Structure 1
């Protein structure tokens, strides 16, 4: 069976997820920006706004810009954030991104060198510039032919538009793409129902309800052997 492209999740697949920004960190970061006014109640206002936005996004399958969380918090406590985009970049520079596993990075490079088109396909609050910086630091930015990020696209997995974009960026039919990740609904069932093949990464038993054609491996480093077996 022909496999021409990989769609690869990030946190939990290639990397250990980084922390979400907390109110205190966001407040301290914004105070250092020019012309920004951060009242004492901003940290608590941000925590409330972030919780509300996350709940709304998950119920609708979308990804609001991080700047929306900042704007809501600002309205609640009369903060002044003149450049929300610059503020977003500053926050995600102060808050560590995910740590890329070196063995997984080497495996990804091996797969890319073999000729597979590789698409990073993940849900994230972080802007593309921040995620690219993380990939560059791990030495794998050049391994990705395209990035499909919920923060840029505006929708989260398993929204159909997310998978449509993955197929478009991969540049080949859905049936020739293998989607690999660690979340059953978003990285296995969703892609499979969208016509792609899928491989779930899990350290536990095969989850109930997982379609029979979906593969299961214990770690991203096992993916080359799994793909080789598809050709047997």
Structure 2
């Protein structure tokens, strides 16, 4: 039985702190090229982008993160065109596709957790670059409340890859049993963290999913997390 105190909390983002946000598509890329840069897009670029996105999504489910710069470079190659400054296009693309908005109740919970002196880590799968996710947290008034951000877009692999959880443990102080991982997905936010030696709690407003271990606490909203930690054994 784990007798360590919970010294750090790792929080998922989409579905936990915020409603999942939109993901760019081929039409968004074409719109950014024309509206932000005044560049004509090669014929068929939108279709090529969506094809590469689908392939990247399949790899994503296997734990591999494909940067949007790579997606766009591949798409341009498929339409036999010379790509522009892809870093600039990607940056403009994420500015044009808004991130999810942090739930005010979730934000209040994060502030309460910060006052408890625990380490806080944002730990999530996302294609959004870390600078843009920091901007989202800043808008919510939370960027300074997190000690570290572990994003799949930044480290190159996704939950439930064990390397993702190893990065979370390192960011949270290096003691797995002292870390509580909180999220809304059974395999990514409970099973994976537990296999890495962390504790876990599931955010689930409805019926708990089949296969959820009996000792995993369930909260309907992350706003309940501070009270859960107060009564943690």
Q: Is the 8 A contact 1:37 1:79 kept in 2?
A: no
Aligned twin of 1:48: 51
Query: What is the aligned length?
Result: 230
Q: CA deviation at 1:35?
A: 8.8
Cα separation, 2, equivalents of 1:112 and 1:81: 44
Q: Deviations over 1:122-166 (max 9, x none)?
A: 000000011001000110001110000000111000111100000
Structural mapping, 1:17-56, within 5 Å? 17-32=20-35, 34=37, 38-56=41-59
- In structure 2, distance between residues paired with 1:78 and 1:202: 47
| CA-CA distance at 1:43 after TM superposition | 0.9
Q: Is the 8 A contact 1:38 1:79 kept in 2?
A: no
Ranges in structure 1 where 5+ consecutive residues have no aligned partner: none
Q: Distance in 1 between matches of 2:117 and 2:53?
A: 41
User: Among 122, 125, 128, which residue is 2:127 paired with?
Assistant: 125
Q: Does the Cα contact within 8 Å between 1:42 and 1:79 map onto a contact in 2? A: no
Moved more, 63-72 or 32-41: 32-41
What is the aligned partner in structure 2 of residue 5 from structure 1? 8
Deviations along 1:11-55, one digit per CA (max 9) or x if unpaired, are: 000001111112111111023455955213111111111111111
| Residue 86 (structure 1) shift | 1.8
Contact 1:37–1:81 at 8 Å: present in 2 too?
A: no
Return the TM-score normalized by structure 1.
0.94
Aligned equivalent of 1:109: 111
Using structure 2 for the length normalisation, give the TM-score.
0.94
Aligned partners of 2:152, 2:74: CA distance in 1, in Å?
A: 20
Residues 59, 65 of structure 2: 8 Å contact kept: no
CA RMSD between the two structures: 1.5
Preserved CA contact (<8 Å) 2:202 2:216: yes
Provide Cα deviations, 1:148-207, integer angstroms capped at 9, x if missing partner: 000011100011110000000111410000000001000011101111000000112222
Aligned-pair CA distance for 1:78: 2.8
Q: CA deviation at 1:57?
A: 2.7
Q: How is 1:129-140 mapped onto 2 (pairs within 5 angstroms)?
A: 129-140=131-142
Comparing 70-79 with 164-173, which one deviates more in the overlay?
Answer: 70-79
Q: Which residues of 2 match residues 59-74 of structure 1 at below 5 A?
A: 60-74=62-76
